[in-house]
Amino acid sequence: VAAFPFLGDGSGAVPNNQRVRADPRELDGRRFDAVVVGGGIHGAALAREIALRRGNVLLVERDDFGSGTSMRSSRLVHGGIRYLEQGRLGLVYEALHERERLLRLAPHLVRPLPMLMPFFRDGGKSPFLLRVGLRVYTLLAGRSRLPRPSFHGPADCARLFPGLRAAGLTGGALFFDAATVDLRLCLAVMRAAAGAGALLCNHAELIGIDGDRVRIRDRVWDVEVAVRAAAVFNAAGPHLDEVRRRLGIEGAPLVRWSRGSHLVLPPVEHETALGAFLPDGRIQFVIPHEGGVLCGTTERDEAVGDGAPTVPEEDAEYLLSSLSWLLAPAPERGDVRFAYAGWRALPVGSGPLGKVSREAMVVVERGPAGPVHTIVGGKLTTHRALAERAVNRWLRRRDPSPSRTEALPGGAGPQEPADPLWRRHGSLAAEVRALAAADPELIEPVSPGYGFLAAEAAYAVAREGAVTLTDLALRRLHRTCGPALDEATLARLLELLGRHRPPGLPPLDAAAEVAQLREEVRRMAGPFGDAIASPGSARGAAAPGESRRRA
């Protein structure tokens, strides 16, 4: 890798793979080549990209890594067949090639997904057009490792997806895309950034500027620090205009928000997903994951408020009604195990939301503290390509980044898909096992019936930057059906969190940690929140009833 042009304090990138979270008390007064604001998938990818070019980079995330849109997606790593209709061939081409790369470089996190596109007599799109679209999709993917599409009659479709509505079904196309766990993908990119030398701080918020310095408030150590940066990368997703203002930029808004909601239904034993066009022209995904089936999504204009997005009743009703069109028997409210909503940050513009481009832009502006590169839009799937483009543009370079060929953490080595530890950690499962070997108590599950080992909780705190109970229960020991909220599991998680946190922090306030976790889950799940997050609720119990996903 060619050396990064010197911009910062000369310390360069130093491998930093032990604790993902840097100590903010050591940052005050330092000068960086770049500060990245926002710890979603784009912030993680930018920090990684800059560090791989030996840049000296700090990332700050005001909540937890991946806690924004990057844990609220449909979890598809895909070209997006519906973007073909909008003629966005460039976006689809890039996304399909990034899909291929991720299947290769992160096989533990990105898996091939068979997707059935059913054709109904009362369906939303012509089967002929869908066939043509799939052909173009396959051509754009080039030499893919995934099987080619095949076409099937109604009986085959019913076998491929048990529970698909039979009335009016005329057949379907089976094609392949890929699925991931968005949050774990984001954490893996974050680990890759740390491994390349980036300094990362979750629970640290960019609050403003002071002359040419960027002010950061760290909530863990309760300190404020100020650093200098040759450039700031604004990857604050839905909050990017607020961050621009905090950086002293007064331009017109860049972003328009669109809310998308998902419901989680009980797990199924088969792997095939549905991607069906509804009579209103929208696509409805039904995607089996371990522990639950993800159904979504919606698309509604929304003004981003404070706090996190929630599923409103109208989205719940829309999704249940779409599912009743698609599935027989139709799922009922009582079947919903979990729900969440996310905000898409789309480039500002008028017209129907479904037609707004998903292509990302990088807007470069000059603020009082220096140049600010703002990422607008984008997809989980194309995070790497976007970061490469943004950093190359900044450095006025065109050479390919090492991220094109370097495996994500855990992605190298033998594949063991039958092993749940491998599916979560890839080859880094060896590090989790080493923790357990050093302390036999950690070999046990966190609590009976809970799918995670105590060693994974300890590892999440020691090596994956979990600071709060919510980080740990909701985002590190991540389950499609939502976190376990029973007293025994939470008590054990608090104990493990207390034991493995950095020394010197004030003691944990157990009641406040539990209340915060319940509140976040309640808010995420909207109309289902009370039933899921209330103390004593059976829906939040440890036993997940996970499906045994075929390896």
Smallest distance, ligand FAD to C-beta of residue 298, A: 8
Smallest distance, ligand FAD to C-beta of residue 519, A: 16
**Alpha helix positions (H), 370-428:** 383-395, 420-425
Smallest distance, ligand FAD to C-beta of residue 443, A: 33
Q: Which is nearer to ligand FAD, 228 or 433 (CB)?
A: 228
465 contacts ligand FAD (rule: CB under 6 A): no
409 contacts ligand FAD (rule: CB under 6 A): no
Q: Which is nearer to ligand FAD, 178 or 435 (CB)?
A: 178
Residue 380 near residue 289, CB atoms below 8 Å: no
Applying CB under 6 A, which of residues 63, 94, 100, 456 lies at the interface with ligand FAD? 63
Smallest distance, ligand FAD to C-beta of residue 486, A: 28
88 contacts ligand FAD (rule: CB under 6 A): no
Residue 346 near residue 258, CB atoms below 8 Å: yes
Length of the chain: 551
Q: How many residues bind ligand FAD (CB under 6 A)?
A: 38
Q: Which is nearer to ligand FAD, 165 or 244 (CB)?
A: 244
Cα separation of 405 and 401, whole Å?
Answer: 8
Q: Which is nearer to ligand FAD, 82 or 239 (CB)?
A: 239
379 contacts ligand FAD (rule: CB under 6 A): yes
Smallest distance, ligand FAD to C-beta of residue 6, A: 26
Cα separation of 181 and 66, whole Å?
Answer: 11
Q: How many CB atoms lie within 10 A of CB 474?
A: 23
Q: Which is nearer to ligand FAD, 52 or 362 (CB)?
A: 362
Q: Looking at 20-28, 140-148, 236-244, 480-488, which segment touches ligand FAD (CB under 6 A)? A: 236-244
Applying CB under 6 A, which of residues 53, 62, 384, 479 lies at the interface with ligand FAD? 62
Q: Which is nearer to ligand FAD, 22 or 453 (CB)?
A: 22
Smallest distance, ligand FAD to C-beta of residue 384, A: 11
Q: How many CB atoms lie within 10 A of CB 507?
A: 7
Q: Which is nearer to ligand FAD, 70 or 310 (CB)?
A: 70
Residues 6+ apart with CB under 8 A from 281: 124, 125, 354
205 contacts ligand FAD (rule: CB under 6 A): yes
Q: Which is nearer to ligand FAD, 76 or 460 (CB)?
A: 76
Helix (H, G, I), strand (E, B) or coil at 286: strand
Paired tokens of 517: 């976790």
Residues 31-50 that bind ligand FAD (CB under 6 A): 37-43
Applying CB under 6 A, which of residues 174, 236, 283, 490 lies at the interface with ligand FAD? 236
Smallest distance, ligand FAD to C-beta of residue 45, A: 8
**Alpha helix positions (H), 3-160:** 41-52, 82-85, 89-105, 127-141, 154-160
Residues 167-186 that bind ligand FAD (CB under 6 A): none
Paired tokens of 35: 């500060």
Applying CB under 6 A, which of residues 243, 274, 295, 542 lies at the interface with ligand FAD? 243
470 contacts ligand FAD (rule: CB under 6 A): no
Helix (H, G, I), strand (E, B) or coil at 319: helix
284 contacts ligand FAD (rule: CB under 6 A): no
Residues 247-266 that bind ligand FAD (CB under 6 A): 260
Q: How many CB atoms lie within 10 A of CB 508?
A: 15
194 contacts ligand FAD (rule: CB under 6 A): no
Cα separation of 365 and 362, whole Å?
Answer: 10
69 contacts ligand FAD (rule: CB under 6 A): yes
Smallest distance, ligand FAD to C-beta of residue 487, A: 29
Strands (E), 335-469: 338-347, 361-367, 370-376
Cα separation of 358 and 354, whole Å?
Answer: 9
Smallest distance, ligand FAD to C-beta of residue 398, A: 24
Smallest distance, ligand FAD to C-beta of residue 473, A: 18
Smallest distance, ligand FAD to C-beta of residue 214, A: 10
526 contacts ligand FAD (rule: CB under 6 A): no
- List residues bridging with 265 in a β-sheet: 293
Q: Exposed/middle/buried for 120, CB within 10 Å: 0-12, 13-18, 19+?
A: buried
Q: Exposed/middle/buried for 128, CB within 10 Å: 0-12, 13-18, 19+?
A: exposed
> From residue 166, how far is each of 157, 275, 276, 335 by CA, in Å?
9, 16, 14, 21
Cα separation of 121 and 549, whole Å?
Answer: 32
76 contacts ligand FAD (rule: CB under 6 A): yes
Q: Looking at 15-23, 54-62, 148-156, 429-437, which segment touches ligand FAD (CB under 6 A)? A: 54-62
Smallest distance, ligand FAD to C-beta of residue 435, A: 27
Applying CB under 6 A, which of residues 70, 374, 401, 547 lies at the interface with ligand FAD? 70
CA angle 415, 438, 196 (to 5 degrees): 55
Q: How many CB atoms lie within 10 A of CB 415?
A: 14
Cα separation of 161 and 234, whole Å?
Answer: 42
411 contacts ligand FAD (rule: CB under 6 A): no
Query: What separation, in Å, do the N-terminal and C-terminal C-alpha atoms of the chain show?
Result: 37
Cα separation of 130 and 135, whole Å?
Answer: 9
Applying CB under 6 A, which of residues 4, 57, 74, 493 lies at the interface with ligand FAD? 74
Applying CB under 6 A, which of residues 82, 239, 424, 479 lies at the interface with ligand FAD? 239
What CA dihedral angle connects 294, 328, 298 and 545, to 10 degrees? Answer: -20
Note the residues at the interface with ligand FAD (CB under 6 A): 37-43, 60-63, 67-70, 72-76, 205-206, 235-239, 243, 260, 297, 342-344, 375, 378-381
